[in-house]
Structure 1
Amino acid sequence: MTLVKCILFSCCLLLSIAVLAQKDHWEAYIAQYEKGAGSTLVNMSLKEKAPDKQYPFLLKAGVRLIDCTAEGLPGKDDWDALYAISDKIKAAVNSLTPNIQAGTFSYQCDRMDYYYVKDTAHARAILSSVFKTSFPKYEYKIEIRSDPSWEAYLTFLYPNEETMEFMENEKVVMNLKKEGDHLNKPRQVDHWLYFNTAAERDAFVTYALHEKFKLEGKEYKQKSKLPFQLHISRIDKVDMDSITAVTLALRTKAKELHGDYDGWETFVVKD
């Protein structure tokens, strides 16, 4: 068996030329909305400084898809054009005002790029000219509004806790599958958590034992922000639905006790 350590991690997802130019941490995810699936590409790096009061205006610009899937997402024939459209939007916004690129959202055959900008003067006219001149086949949309609290980013583009859990677990499960694991057999899954006090850690241990987890160990990490480490394990399945239910419950309980859930590890099972 091959050991795969599954501590939560992040990666840069580079989906367009515009994003390739960035050094920020980008993530993509698909979530279900009122009318169907929506695909989001979001600049995760902005979370720590949001809202940035220097960029109080939200600028959204994009097009109505020509090649649209049954789910309302971009089809393969639109991608080259969408890359070019995003690059042109970025170049136009850069020429107009200091800005921060926040993300892209595709939903119900629309694809919109999101920016936070310092100034909106002439933005609509310049972008309209770009669309009409460079992409005359596409119906375009432009929205500009005040958003000093960055509500669009913090409560819409940025993934909620459940989506984040799914995203992180999906990366891990994909690695298991690449190693030849069919994910159909339960196996020991180890989990790591950190707490501010020994009392909070002990309260979590009581919860964990009640949920049939095994206590594997406790350590004190003196230089850590949350120094009281906890290691627990349980026999579980590791398909997406099963493991996400487990990790979300652990993360939620740890948060209640001012702690942090740090990830999980398991073995690849190939037979």
Structure 2
Amino acid sequence: MSENWMPIRRTSKNGPSTHLIDLSYRDEKRVPDKARTLASMIEVAFDKPEDHGMGDTAESQSLDASFDDVTAAFQTSDAVLVGRVRGQGVMRFFVYSSAPTQPTIAGLARQAFAGRTIKLHHKEDPSWSLYSALLPTPLEQRGFDDLSVAEHMRSAGDPLTTPRDVRHYVYFPDERTARAFADEIQKSGFKTDVKASAKPAPGAMMCVIASRDDAIECPGITDITWMLSEQAKKLGGEYDGWEAMLIQPKRKGLLSRLLGG
């Protein structure tokens, strides 16, 4: 799976669901794509949806594998897969293309999922509103970004649970708003350093570095980053991210190993 694909788990009154969304169209500012104005949704029913409506892992993987053949065939057309949602007893695949490609999409889907119950939905969507509805909320994006950093550190042996100095970077358009933010978060135990931005730009002339000892496991770290992000937003600022020292368990010395300690 490309790094441009973001997984999201959501829960609604209709039950749990998992989403995979290709963020490249958003991040590369390719939305809307004027050459692909037809939105198609391919809905495939699970044979065994289970009580939660998400099917079992084996069936989900089987459907994904079948659709891989469809996306490979897309390479000879202008169709692109932009998202997949699993839940409510079905797997839904979201595709954008030009209108003349609709019969090709339908034919490939029926071929890939032969013997299964499928439904095809098509609509003209020049604004890519369906894609926009799939995109993560700001809180979901913040949590995903935090998890990506934390998991990278975990893979290097960091237990994540050890409190350490975590430094957050927040940018503001002027010194007044930057200092107002610093004064506010100091009440929550943060040390702050207000300075001119190293890379000044409109809306980011000043930088506040906020530091506090915290663990970096999720979702706890996101509770912190989201609070800072929302507070910055109230003052016209923008939260930019965090960094922390990597902590690894102490390795036993040679004498300790020899003695079995």
Q: Do both share a fold (TM > 0.5)?
A: yes
> Do the aligned residues in 2 keep the contact of 1:251 with 1:260 (CA within 8 Å)?
yes
Q: Comparing both chains, which one has the higher relative contact order based on Cα–Cα distances under 8 Å and sequence gaps of 6 or more? A: 1
Equivalent residue, structure 1, for 2:93:
113
> Match of 2:81, as an amino acid?
Q
Secondary structure of 2:208's aligned partner: strand
Residue of structure 1 equivalent to 2:13: 34
Match of 1:235 among 187, 210, 213: 213
Alignment gaps of 5+ in structure 2 = 251-261
Shift of 1:101: 2.9
1:231: how far off? 0.8
Q: How does 1:157-196 map to 2 (within 5 A)?
A: 157-196=134-173
| Displacement after TM superposition at 1:79 (Å) | 4.9
**One-letter identity of the residue aligned with 1:270:** P
Distance in 2 (alpha carbons) for counterparts of 1:138 and 1:193? 51
Pick aligned residue for 1:66 from 8, 28, 47: 47
Deviation at 1:126, TM superposition (A): 4.4
Residue equivalent to 2:177 = 200
Asked if the contact 1:31/1:163 (under 8 Å) is kept, the reply is no
Q: TM-score under structure 1 normalisation?
A: 0.77
Q: Which runs of 5+ in 1 are unaligned?
A: 1-12, 15-23
Deviations 1:13-61 (A, max 9, x none): 43xxxxxxxxx82222222222222111111121223233443321111
Cα deviation, 1:83-118, whole Å, max 9, x if unaligned, reads 34323433565656x344321111123112212222
Identity %: 23
Partners of 1:175 and 1:126 in 2: CA distance: 41
Aligned to 1:51: 32
Residue identity opposite 2:223 in structure 1: A
Shift of 1:146: 2.5
1:256 maps to a residue whose letter is K
Moved more, 173-182 or 205-214: 173-182
Q: Distance in 1 between matches of 2:158 and 2:75?
A: 46
- Correspondence for 1:244: 222
| Counterpart Cα distance in 2 of 1:117 and 1:153 | 13
Structure-1 residue corresponding to 2:232: 254
CA shift for structure 1 position 127: 4.3
Q: Secondary structure at the match of 1:246?
A: helix
Once residues 263 and 99 of structure 1 are traced to their aligned partners in structure 2, the CA distance between those partners, rounded to angstroms, is 35
Deviation (angstroms), 1:260: 1.9
Q: In 2, are the aligned partners of 1:26 and 1:43 still within 8 Å (CA)? A: yes
Aligned to 2:258: none
- Secondary structure of residue in 1 paired with 2:40: strand
Q: 1:184 and 1:118, CA in 2 relative to 1: closer, same or farther beyond 3 A?
A: same
The aligned amino acid for 1:201 is A
Q: 1:206 to 1:80 in 2, by over 3 A?
A: closer
> How far apart, in 2, do the equivalents of 1:28 and 1:199 lie?
38
Pairing of 1:147-158 with structure 2 (within 5 A):
147-154=125-132, 156-158=133-135
Aligned AA (1:237)? A
Using the alignment, how far apart are the partners of 1:103 and 1:111 within structure 2?
11
For 2:84 and 2:165, the matched residues in 1 are separated by: 39
